[in-house]
Structure 1
Amino acid sequence: MKYLPLLALLILGCRESPRVDYTAEKSATYSTVAIAGPHPLATQTAEAVLRRGGNAIDAAVAMQLAMAVVYPRAGNIGGGGFLVYRPADGPAIALDYREVAPAAAHRDMYLDSAGNVTEGLSTLGHLAVGVPGTVAGIAAMHERFGSLPWAELVQPAIDLADGGYRLSEAEIERLKRYHDDFAALNEETPFNDSSRVAGTLVQQPDLAATLIRIRDEGAAGFYEGATADLIVAEMESGGGLITREDLRQYAPKWKAPITKEYKEFRLISMPPSSSGGVALSQMAEMIEPFPLSEYGFQSVRSVQVIAEAMRRAYADRAEYLGDADFYPVPVDSLLRDEYLLNRMADFSFDTAGTSAAIAAGNLPMKETFETTHISIVDSLGNAVSITTTLNGNFGSKVMVDGGGFFLNNEMDDFSAKPGVPNMFGLVGKEANAIQPGKRMLSSMTPTIVERNGELFLVLGAPGGSTIITAVLQTFLNVTEYGMDLPAAVAAPRFHHQWLPDEILYESDALSGGVLDSLKTLGYRFREVNSMAVIKAIRVLHDGRLQAAADPRNPDDDVAGY
């Protein structure tokens, strides 16, 4: 019998209920372990693993798979991600399980006959899909650092898919928003019943069957055999590029993290193919000479310093950052102290800078948001910071027929054409051009912070191009402005990414005349509803763990004991 996709099951096989049998907790302090994530059922899954004696990696494995069931717009097995791991008894390490371009991809694949970018081609449908990396990444982290049996960690996700979970109000709203895309891009018409309410029970036999293959066969249960056949059939049905060989060839990569000192703190973050670690480190060092704590939170001077550092880091991102296996990314030069000191040499408090005047720096040599994040600290002090993504909400909006999971639209994170912005308004150049087997540049910024050598913060976020600046501001809110973690996460934010030449700001940010003063100096602004959604854990001075989930997402949740 052919399996029906999850979305059709919502129409044909789900029953209504007036209640959602879980609630999200936004902050709490724990004595032993802490988790922050995007959905209560996912954090509960991780907590149960830790209570059974699993470590932070075990909890992360089970949690990511659970997210594929209960958080389909971003939790994924059809996407990819990044891990930054700081074991209690060894050096930090990073794992890149970002998607890659299929072998048939090419530089100009999204351009029309006139050389212009074809709107929607890299964001919607089968041609937008990169080769998924999530399952291979999860298997790799478990093989190296896991302690509990693999099957035991996969089973909770199978149980959630088979037994069902109830949709929250926030998820219902998202599903309705993308009804037309689902209907246009899938053989069956999902969500044509738009009357579904919070409490609808979702059972996913297709996804359960896929997870059973992963449980029994490991990564091969996804990249080979029946699941691979389903992915390839889906690609062929809609003109996608992924082949069986693309799936067989996929491999995650262990890497050294990006590290940078800021006063008594040490930032540990993700290297390329993420731009997050480099850009975060650049901004932190450009800001460090300025007395932000004296200026005050979101004062005119604080905002100027931070926004100008953002502007310069994003200019460098556009010019120099991409997959280091395909382009000589000049990481050492970009992070050199002298270079970063000179980057702010033309900054003045008297007037706004302009992006037209601030290009990428001259180096001596060259070397939506619907992502999601989890932060975990276990009883031994092992710390996990993981950001994963499908890119847009529900990725390409294509669900693998018979597989029950959405596929990413990560090909949009390449530079379809130099200087043409992607869905997040980010521009790129040769460093991020499309090539077969290449990882597309990301803004994901899973980060761990030490203070005087001891674990201090674990944080990260979804949020597209605003991820990096949200991580920066949360860090500064704690370290410079003295906020406790829940206040630091909830505080209003702003963002500058070089192009377009404007500062985005949340409606409650830049108050008390600050916005008007900055406009007088020449800065341009655009108000947005919200930006990135932080999930963080802080180690308090007495060793307890304070966890904070972002109020910007109603389903964000913390757990622990």
Structure 2
Amino acid sequence: MTFNIFHKKTSQIALLLLTGFLPLGCVQGQLTNTSGHEYRNGMVVCAYPDASQAGLTILQKGGNAVDAAVAVQFALAVTLPEAGNIGGGGFMVYRGADGQTNTLDFREKAPAMASTNMYLDSAGNVIPDMSLYTHKASGVPGSVDGMVTAHKKYGKLSWAVLLQPAIDLATNGFKITKHLANDLNRNQAIFKKLNPGKIYLLKDTPWKEGDVLAQPDLAKTLELIRDKGRDGFYDGPVADALVAEMKKGDGLISKADLTNYHAVWRNAITGNYKGYKIITMPPPSSGGIALLQLLKSVEKYPIQKWGHNQDSTVQVMVEAERRVYADRSKYLGDPDFYKVPVDSLLNPVYLNARMKSLNWNAATPSTSIQPGAFVGYESDQTTHYSIVDRDGNAVSITTTLNDSFGSKIFVAGAGFLLNNEMDDFSSKPGVPNMFGLIGGKANSIQPGKRMLSSMTPTIIEKDGQLFMVVGTPGGATIMTSVFQTILNVIDFDQDMQQAVTSKRFHSQWLPDNVEIEAGALDTLTRQKLEKKGYKIIDYRPIGRVDAILKTKWGYYDGGADPRGDDTKLGW
């Protein structure tokens, strides 16, 4: 049976009675049910039920959080083809049970043959869709090297054991959900158009919930990765197939690019918000810096008193978001190629000065907001999973192909999708990418450079102890979704499932509007904000947050986003 904790008092009594752990349970997020399940020995929250099960199985076998992350990553490559991947890349934030932290950058890189103006025509204009749905849209994949690197440093169980759940899912197939069936059906035409002669994810009749999806070519690729580790992907038959696919489509990735790719360990960026320590991802993620800027920008305002999604709360958050996204457009990029002014961007004096122009009577037009100036300085489809093991080791990992199903192009014979991460570079200064984000010199295309990302995997401590593991997909909305989820818990006293389920809003400087989910604002709040000049636009669901909260009683309370098939499992 699954022990369901609905009330604080019930929790306290239950904890006096329980002596070991709570039995295995599974809850998929549902908008009508925000009650949580709490577990003692570990938890996995990710975007697909079978992948969550793969991670939990590894935890139950004695694996740690990183072991489970490896299993989840490869299982998602099978069960969540629109975002899970071996052909993309991502970021990992790690916190050990001893409090030690680290981050791993396995973001994709521009091929050696890439060039700054590669997506411009002879007149200097951006060529439509070239950075999105062609072989030239793909950066050198980092996911496999990232998992190998993470496992080498922190893993406990054997590599082969961690790959087997994904291999079984690809070989035997799995029952697809309604969400996945709809996604596959929507993309049938473009799959056929961009993949002549290939049959991956295609079906003569519409996909429906419960259909079994097997992927034999992908299974063979995963077996090679299981047996040969990194060389199973970056060398041998899989590498040959990837390079052959590039040549067939006039792409840029070479065998040398694959050989030379390596994930990079980087020091976490840390900050404080109301007594909580925020541990998050440094550049080339823009998410970590942006999250800390957002939190510090609103810290002095009494948003708890004003209330969740009330007009003053929304106004101050939107104004902070506009200023932070303006800074992102100028100052953030790959730190191996560009000097990112981290200290200046996170300086409290600078952030306070940025917020001084807030006018409570009227919206600040985005056209009047520019990136901040410093003395002496010159010039996302994604998926996330959060895991904690019984010892308290925690990982927050966000990975991506960029667009849903990436470039929509499969590697013939190997069965996996290519990313279209090159669109995350600034193809031309001032021209937005697919998410409407503006970039400049800091994020220009250069060979071997990692493109800027919005991914924001984050871990939070309270009084030196693990408190929260959080992250989300969502392109440009990632940073604001993580921001709101954190505030929902710390300032608005929501439990983890409530914080993840709560309706969200988003603003990003340009375009000059505020996007809201249905029901995010009540009618009066919306009217108040519109009278001040805020352009509010009804928007599709924002983000798919997966998070874990460690309660004051020492249990893990998960939040699985009801906007997708996200699933939390614990024991």
TM norm structure 1: 0.94
Distance in 2 between the 1:29 and 1:23 partners? 11
Structure 1 residue 188 corresponds to structure 2 residue 197: yes
Structure 1 residue 382 corresponds to structure 2 residue 393: yes
Distance in 2 between the 1:104 and 1:324 partners? 20
1:399 counterpart residue number: 410
Structure 1 residue 372 corresponds to structure 2 residue 383: yes
AA paired with 1:157? A
Distance in 2 between the 1:195 and 1:233 partners? 31
1:49 counterpart residue number: 58
Deviation at 1:513, TM superposition (A): 0.7
Contact 1:28 1:548 in 2 (8 A): no
Q: How does 1:520-531 map to 2 (within 5 A)?
A: 520-531=531-542
Distance in 2 between the 1:512 and 1:380 partners? 47
Secondary structure of the equivalent of 2:72? Answer: helix
1:25 counterpart residue number: 28
Deviation at 1:505, TM superposition (A): 0.7
Deviation at 1:192, TM superposition (A): 5.4
Q: Which residue, out of 126, 131, 141, partners 1:117?
A: 126
The number of aligned residues is 538
Deviation per CA, 1:230-255: give whole Å up to 9, x if none: 00001111111000000000010000
Deviation at 1:387, TM superposition (A): 0.2
Contact 1:328 1:366 in 2 (8 A): no
2:290 counterpart residue number: 279
Q: Which residue, out of 464, 482, 488, partners 1:471?
A: 482
Contact 2:499 2:559 in 1 (8 A): no
AA paired with 1:75? G
Deviation at 1:187, TM superposition (A): 2.4
Percent identical among aligned pairs is 50
Secondary structure of the equivalent of 1:140? Answer: helix
1:338 counterpart residue number: 349
Distance in 2 between the 1:254 and 1:515 partners? 44
2:256 counterpart residue number: 245
Distance in 2 between the 1:104 and 1:543 partners? 51
AA paired with 1:143? K
Deviation per CA, 1:514-546: give whole Å up to 9, x if none: 111111011112110211110000001100110
Structure 1 residue 363 corresponds to structure 2 residue 374: yes
AA paired with 2:319? E
Structure 1 residue 557 corresponds to structure 2 residue 567: yes
Q: Which residue, out of 447, 451, 455, partners 1:440?
A: 451
Distance in 1 between the 2:429 and 2:182 partners? 35
Deviation at 1:304, TM superposition (A): 0.8
Q: Which residue, out of 294, 303, 306, partners 1:292?
A: 303
Deviation per CA, 1:284-334: give whole Å up to 9, x if none: 001001011011111111011100011110000001000011111111111
Secondary structure of the equivalent of 2:521? Answer: coil
Structure 1 residue 224 corresponds to structure 2 residue 227: no
Distance in 1 between the 2:382 and 2:548 partners? 19
2:269 counterpart residue number: 258
Distance in 2 between the 1:39 and 1:122 partners? 28
Structure 1 residue 539 corresponds to structure 2 residue 556: no
Give 5+ residue unaligned stretches, structure 1. 1-21
Secondary structure of the equivalent of 2:124? Answer: coil
Distance in 2 between the 1:106 and 1:523 partners? 39
Distance in 1 between the 2:189 and 2:453 partners? 27
Distance in 2 between the 1:461 and 1:203 partners? 27
Distance in 2 between the 1:513 and 1:391 partners? 37
Q: Which residue, out of 167, 177, 194, partners 1:168?
A: 177
2:107 counterpart residue number: 98
AA paired with 2:161? E
Q: How does 1:59-70 map to 2 (within 5 A)?
A: 59-70=68-79
Secondary structure of the equivalent of 1:513? Answer: helix
Secondary structure of the equivalent of 2:28? Answer: coil
2:152 counterpart residue number: 143
AA paired with 2:393? N
Structure 1 residue 38 corresponds to structure 2 residue 41: no
Deviation at 1:267, TM superposition (A): 0.9
Distance in 2 between the 1:87 and 1:115 partners? 49
Secondary structure of the equivalent of 2:516? Answer: strand
Computed over aligned residues only, the root mean square deviation of the Cα atoms, in angstroms, reads 1.3
Distance in 2 between the 1:424 and 1:310 partners? 15
Deviation at 1:413, TM superposition (A): 0.3
Deviation at 1:212, TM superposition (A): 1.0
AA paired with 2:412? D
Contact 1:133 1:252 in 2 (8 A): yes
Distance in 1 between the 2:112 and 2:184 partners? 32
Secondary structure of the equivalent of 2:400? Answer: strand
Deviation per CA, 1:9-43: give whole Å up to 9, x if none: xxxxxxxxxxxxx9862252112211100011001
Contact 2:291 2:479 in 1 (8 A): yes
Deviation at 1:345, TM superposition (A): 1.2
Contact 2:386 2:395 in 1 (8 A): yes
AA paired with 1:173? N
AA paired with 1:25? Q
1:107 counterpart residue number: 116
AA paired with 1:290? Y
Secondary structure of the equivalent of 2:37? Answer: strand
Q: Which residue, out of 479, 498, 509, partners 2:509?
A: 498
AA paired with 1:216? D
Deviation per CA, 1:382-428: give whole Å up to 9, x if none: 01100000011110001110001101000000011101100000010
AA paired with 1:155? Q
1:326 counterpart residue number: 337
More deviation, 270-279/477-486:
477-486
Contact 2:423 2:434 in 1 (8 A): yes
Runs of at least 4 residues of structure 1 off by over 3 A?
none
AA paired with 2:254? T
2:438 counterpart residue number: 427
Distance in 1 between the 2:64 and 2:198 partners? 42
Distance in 2 between the 1:28 and 1:240 partners? 47
AA paired with 2:56? E
Structure 1 residue 455 corresponds to structure 2 residue 466: yes
AA paired with 1:449? I
Contact 1:176 1:194 in 2 (8 A): no
AA paired with 1:207? L
AA paired with 1:116? N
Contact 1:333 1:365 in 2 (8 A): no
Contact 1:457 1:538 in 2 (8 A): yes
Distance in 2 between the 1:540 and 1:40 partners? 24
Structure 1 residue 81 corresponds to structure 2 residue 84: no
Distance in 2 between the 1:440 and 1:221 partners? 25
Secondary structure of the equivalent of 2:450? Answer: coil
AA paired with 2:145? A
